Amino acid sequence: MLAEAGLAEMRALILELRPESLAAEGLVGALARLASALRARHRLAVDEQLGDEPDLPLPTKEALYRVAQEALNNVVKHARATHVALSLIATDDEIELLVRDDGKGFDPTAGFPGHLGLQSMRERIAQLAGSLTLASAPGEGTTVRAHVPRRSE
């Protein structure tokens, strides 16, 4: 069990440093590794609904991966959550990435000087002609939802 946790952590760290492995592993594989790393490193319960690998250009996959990575890092750093749901749902028209936690939540209208994570997520998705929504309230967890057009080339 300890060896598996160490292996999961090493793979996640490598992927964080080298997102070009998305081309070989795919977005679904990369997201599954993020979920595995959360379980191993932080003892979080993670429910995954990732489906089949979507047919997307590599820059779109990288943007979605980075948004998931940032949202999950925020869960670890700020939420005090015990459970996270991670899903990637493809329809004919769009891809939806969802990260939902049962953590402490926050007021999303408050300013966060010096914190660029939310801004970075919004910018990545906007570059793909998509949308990013954030729903949270103190004591009620947080949901980050990104939608990008299926063909955002």
DSSP 83-148: EEEEEEEE-SSEEEEEEEE-S----TTS--TT--HHHHHHHHHHTTT-EEEEEE-TTS-EEEEEEE
- The structural domains of the chain, with segments of one domain joined by +, span 46-149
The predicted model gives 22-48 an average pLDDT of 91
pLDDT on residue 15: 56
> Which conformational region is residue 114 in: left (phi greater than 0), alpha (psi within -120 to 50 degrees), or beta?
left
The predicted model gives 36-60 an average pLDDT of 93
Token code pair at residue 20 = 């070009």
The pTM of the full predicted model, rounded to 2 decimals, is 0.85
Could you tell me which residue, 3 or 94, shows the higher pLDDT? 94
pLDDT on residue 152: 44
Could you tell me which residue, 112 or 139, shows the higher pLDDT? 139
Could you tell me which residue, 112 or 17, shows the higher pLDDT? 112
The predicted model gives 25-38 an average pLDDT of 92
pLDDT on residue 91: 92
The predicted model gives 55-79 an average pLDDT of 93
**Class of the domain covering 46-149:** alpha beta
